[in-house]
Amino acid sequence: MDSRNKFDPKELLKPDNMLRLYASGAFPMADDKTGAINWYMPDVRSIIPLDNYKIPRSARKAIKKKNFEIKLDEDFTQVIMRCSDRKETWISEELIKAYKRLRKRGHVHTVETWLDGELVGGLYGVTFRGAFFGESMFSSVSEASKAALVALINHLIEKDFLLLDVQYMTEHLQMFGAIEISFDEYKKLLHNSYTRGCEF
């Protein structure tokens, strides 16, 4: 990356630069009050191992009972807007525009949960070769975001992805087998995932 643009926030949000940053293990978040966008690379990273994940029995039963319909890349704009619709959010208007540009390049994808023709849950993330960098999820109906996550895991396995990065640990993600690893371990997974030419 051109050193003259290294600390220019707008330059860092250009698609090529965003992909380079994601590929190095960084991810962006906007300050809820100032809107300033910073890139983070924590020493400890959370992932869901695709060879050792869990699907809670209670979630499996509830998802089956709800009879959700799962769609991929059907309504990105609504998904990201719903993800950002909360009292405090790191998903600013500027970041939304950046993700839309990246989506046009084929590197941002959604997994959506629909019920009776209405979008009731979903998630989105960035892909680069064999890595999926999960960004955010939302749910307006019980179990809808869990249904999207289950569908994502199954889809990534089917497409031979190696890494599902979920950034930070939460109770919700821990239910699915999320673990914390050092950044050194994470970098090894990153590099291995880039040997796979996966298509979402």
Give pLDDT tens digits for 44-70: 999 999 999 998 887 787 788 888 999
CA 53 to chain centre: 16
Pair 40, 27: CB distance under 8 Å: yes
In this predicted structure, the answer to whether residue 1 has a pLDDT above a threshold of 70 is no
Q: What is the distance between the terminal CA atoms of the chain, rounded to a whole angstrom?
A: 26
Each residue of 100-159: pLDDT tens digit? 999 999 999 999 999 999 999 999 999 999 999 999 999 999 899 999 999 999 999 999
Nearest to 134 by CA among 50, 35, 15, 71: 50
Q: Residue 194 class from Cβ within 10 Å (0-12 exposed, 13-18 middle, 19+ buried)?
A: middle
Each residue of 91-102: pLDDT tens digit? 999 999 999 999
CATH code for 42-193?
3.40.630.70
Nearest to 81 by CA among 102, 106, 99: 99
Each residue of 2-13: pLDDT tens digit? 434 455 778 999
Average pLDDT in the chain: 92
Q: Return the pLDDT at 66.
A: 85
Give the Cα separation of 18 and 128 in Å (integer): 11
Q: Return the pLDDT at 86.
A: 87
Q: What count of Cα atoms within 13 Å lies in the side-chain half-sphere of residue 187?
A: 8
Question: CB-based contacts of 14: which residues, under 8 Å, 6+ apart?
Answer: 101
Each residue of 111-121: pLDDT tens digit? 999 999 999 99
Q: Return the pLDDT at 7.
A: 59
Going from N- to C-terminal start, the domains of the chain cover 42-193
